[in-house]
Structure 1
Amino acid sequence: MKYFDYAATCPLDQEAAQLYIQSATEFFGNTSSLHDTGNQAQQLLETCRKELAQMLGVQTDGIYFTSGGSEGNFLAIQALLSSPFKKGKHIITSTAEHASIHSALEKCKQEGFEITALPYDPDGHIEVEQLKAAIREETVLIAIQHGNSEIGTVQPIVEISKLCRERDILLHSDCVQTFGKLDMQELAQSVDSLAISGHKFYGPKGVGAVYLNPRLHWEAFYPNTSHENGFRPGTVNVPGIAAMTLAAQQSLASLAEQQEHFIKLRDIFLNTIKDKEAQIKVYPSDLPSIVGLRIKGMEGQLVMLECNRNGYAISTGSACQVGSQAPAKTMTALGVTGKQAKEFIRISFGKNTKPEDVRTLGKTLIKILHAYEKQSERN
């Protein structure tokens, strides 16, 4: 099986896996235990916290380790809203946010908040002027993802941050899809919180991190919680955190090399399918590792299953929406509705993706399209 679903999850890096085993066997203590075994685990944990803070260019005491992006997004939003920073009951987000953001904001609606969800422009971006027009006196939070997981567009978070600073509005950004692919330091210093997830950059599943600006005073979502300074309950996953930190270091060390690799792969793919531009709609992307597209007339789930039958693993959008009958959220944000919205598929590259496999995937999609056209003619 040729894997083209790296935006959903990545295989665990071998060095990170080895470090996980070493940490789990040598630093197995509970970080809250007062004996030396617990203290050794605590020291490793704090080393990882310091390393991740340096990667983001933020204060170490603003880093909290979590079970991943979904929990991180939820707890970050809850922490921001618990802050006495500003009174109000209005939140702005985008239609295309990850399911975990929509879930967190649905809970906010139940608590009396009003949510404004903005669409994308035709190029897949939030229009800053439209965002500015949506701000009210009672707006307390803006939650906008950095990188879209379905088509790969990157939102102007630093520019949005300036608006927020001018109007005393808190800003959260879901950075799960961009950490490890872009330099995040300017963004991290511009937001009040962000979330990342280890398995998106070759770390283990079940571990992630949140940066929460230390200037803010917040209340724990879970009362009487001691781990991670009250941010979340549960024994800290030190081996997972150590492995994630190593994977993050490796990803950031090879940013330029990986970006060049992904641009090459995207160009190969687009050149392979260029003769079918009339039938294949490719959406704009700022992350060359993600290609979002539609084969006109073909439901995305059918294309995905045919690719799978031919030995290629692709997706129909965010893995957190599998089983849903609704179209990809990004299609809704772009104003694509009905049958067209359900035509969407996503192809995503990784560091081990080979150029020849990209070519054969493109040819396979054309073969699938030809078979569908012949079948339609017979019918």
Structure 2
Amino acid sequence: MIYLDHCATTPMSAKALDTYTKTAQSFYGNEQSLHDDGEAASQLLQHCRAKLTTIIHGKSEGIYFTSGGSDSNITALLSLAYGNEDYGKHIITSPLEHPSVYQALNRLNQEGFSVSEVKVKSNGEVCLDSLQQLLRDDTILVTITHASSETGVIQPLKDIGRILEGKNVVFHSDTVQTFAKVPIDITSYQLDAISISAHKLNGPKNCGACYIAPGTNWKGLYSGVTHQQGWKPGTIDIPGVTAFTEAALAFHEHHAETTAYWKRMQQWMLTNLSDDVFSLFGDIDNRLPHHLALRAKGKEGQWIMLECNRNGIAISSGSACKSSDSSPPKSLIAMGHTAEAAHGLFRISFGKDTTYRELEKTVEVLHRITA
């Protein structure tokens, strides 16, 4: 099988798997226990926190571990909203977000918070003028993804940070698709919180984290919890965290050459796919280097995905976490595409080990099934 669905999930790297196994064998103590085995696990956990925050130029005490990206988004948004509701109940987001963001915001909306969505330009970037116009005196939280899993377009977080500078507004971003792959500087972007996940970068599934800048108000969702300063109950998966850290550092340390490799692949694919049949959704330059959001004229994206699967190629027809309803991708409708065009979305996403031979086979199959 040719696997080209790395934005959905990735295989664990050999180093991450080895790290997981060795840690599970040697650091099995509960990091909250007071004996030596517990202390050893606690020290390893603090080491991982420090290493992960070097990637985003943050502070180690700002890392809180979760069960993955969706958990990070939901827990962060609820905690940040509850922790700041004394200042207002207005939240701003975009129509480009992961389903987990909407799950959290829908709950908040039912609880008396109000949610506004910024407009989106035709190239897939949020409209900064729209954001500026939506800000109110009671706005407490802005959450804008760093890059949509559907469109792949990278959002202008630094510009958003400038707009929010000096305002009493918490700035959160879902960086699950970009963490360790696209440079993120918490300070220069003026971000207060981000969500990250391990399995998007060759780490283990069911492991993720939130970063919340020290000093940012948040309120835990569970009463009486002592783990992670009251963030979440449950013993932290130390082997999972260490494998996550190993995988993230490997991506971060080699991101320049990996990005260049992926960009060449991206351009090769676009050059070799017929313009008469295939078209790209979103900005051609300002996008994830390993991501292509495509449409084949007159074909449903899900049909393309199933035909590719029948030919031994794994791609996606959108977010792996999207509900099973038949509505077109919200992000593409916001960009001005018709429902028919939006239903044509299929996504190809590369990994570290993707080869040109695999891409050649994929192009051949795509041309054959759409002929």
TM range (shorter): over 0.9
Residues in 1 aligned to 2:202 and 2:89: alpha-carbon distance in whole angstroms = 38
Going from structure 1 to structure 2, the CA distance change for 1:250 and 1:188 (only over 3 Å counts) comes to: farther
- The offset of 1:84, in angstroms, is 4.0
- The offset of 1:134, in angstroms, is 1.3
Code of the aligned partner of 1:121: K
Code of the aligned partner of 1:280: F
1:57–1:189 contact (8 Å) kept in structure 2: no
Residues in 2 aligned to 1:329 and 1:350: alpha-carbon distance in whole angstroms = 26
Residues in 1 aligned to 2:156 and 2:85: alpha-carbon distance in whole angstroms = 23
Encode CA deviations 1:356-377: one digit per residue, 9 max, x unaligned: 211221121111111xxxxxxx
For 1:323, the equivalent position in structure 2 comes to: 324
Aligned positions of 1:143-154 closer than 5 A: 143-154=143-154
1:158–1:187 contact (8 Å) kept in structure 2: no
- The offset of 1:209, in angstroms, is 1.1
How many pairs are equivalent? 368
Encode CA deviations 1:150-178: one digit per residue, 9 max, x unaligned: 12111111111122123221111000000
- The offset of 1:8, in angstroms, is 0.4
Residues in 2 aligned to 1:288 and 1:189: alpha-carbon distance in whole angstroms = 21
The two structures have a TM-score, normalised by structure 2, of 0.96
Going from structure 1 to structure 2, the CA distance change for 1:187 and 1:100 (only over 3 Å counts) comes to: farther
Residues in 1 aligned to 2:347 and 2:165: alpha-carbon distance in whole angstroms = 35
RMSD: 1.5
How many percent of aligned residue pairs carry the same amino acid? 38
For 1:208, the equivalent position in structure 2 comes to: 208
For 2:359, the equivalent position in structure 1 comes to: 358
Residues in 2 aligned to 1:162 and 1:355: alpha-carbon distance in whole angstroms = 40
- The offset of 1:187, in angstroms, is 6.1
The answer on 1:249 being equivalent to 2:249 is yes
1:272–1:363 contact (8 Å) kept in structure 2: no
Residues in 1 aligned to 2:148 and 2:84: alpha-carbon distance in whole angstroms = 30
- The offset of 1:267, in angstroms, is 1.4
2:55–2:180 contact (8 Å) kept in structure 1: no
For 1:374, the equivalent position in structure 2 comes to: none
- More off after superposition, 160-169 vs 136-145: 160-169
1:140–1:170 contact (8 Å) kept in structure 2: yes
For 1:157, the equivalent position in structure 2 comes to: 157
2:161–2:189 contact (8 Å) kept in structure 1: no
- More off after superposition, 181-190 vs 72-81: 181-190
Encode CA deviations 1:196-226: one digit per residue, 9 max, x unaligned: 0001111100111111011123221111111
The answer on 1:221 being equivalent to 2:242 is no
For 1:14, the equivalent position in structure 2 comes to: 14
Code of the aligned partner of 2:214: P
For 1:377, the equivalent position in structure 2 comes to: none
Residues in 2 aligned to 1:76 and 1:155: alpha-carbon distance in whole angstroms = 20
For 1:50, the equivalent position in structure 2 comes to: 50
Q: Unpaired runs of 5+ in structure 1?
A: 371-379
The two structures have a TM-score, normalised by structure 1, of 0.94
1:31 alignment partner, SS class: coil
Going from structure 1 to structure 2, the CA distance change for 1:229 and 1:186 (only over 3 Å counts) comes to: closer
Residues in 1 aligned to 2:201 and 2:74: alpha-carbon distance in whole angstroms = 21
Code of the aligned partner of 1:213: A
For 1:100, the equivalent position in structure 2 comes to: 100
2:318–2:345 contact (8 Å) kept in structure 1: yes
- The offset of 1:332, in angstroms, is 2.3
For 1:26, the equivalent position in structure 2 comes to: 26
Q: Unpaired runs of 5+ in structure 2?
A: none
Residues in 2 aligned to 1:42 and 1:74: alpha-carbon distance in whole angstroms = 26
Aligned positions of 1:1-379 closer than 5 A: 1-84=1-84, 87-186=87-186, 190-273=190-273, 276-283=274-281, 284-285=283-284, 286-321=287-322, 323-370=324-371
Residues in 1 aligned to 2:40 and 2:5: alpha-carbon distance in whole angstroms = 37
2:152–2:293 contact (8 Å) kept in structure 1: yes
Going from structure 1 to structure 2, the CA distance change for 1:188 and 1:207 (only over 3 Å counts) comes to: farther
Residues in 2 aligned to 1:338 and 1:112: alpha-carbon distance in whole angstroms = 31
Runs of 4+ aligned residues of structure 1 deviating over 6 Å after TM superposition are: none
Going from structure 1 to structure 2, the CA distance change for 1:172 and 1:213 (only over 3 Å counts) comes to: same
2:58–2:186 contact (8 Å) kept in structure 1: no
Residues in 2 aligned to 1:332 and 1:258: alpha-carbon distance in whole angstroms = 32
- The offset of 1:36, in angstroms, is 1.4
- The offset of 1:186, in angstroms, is 4.7
1:136 alignment partner, SS class: coil
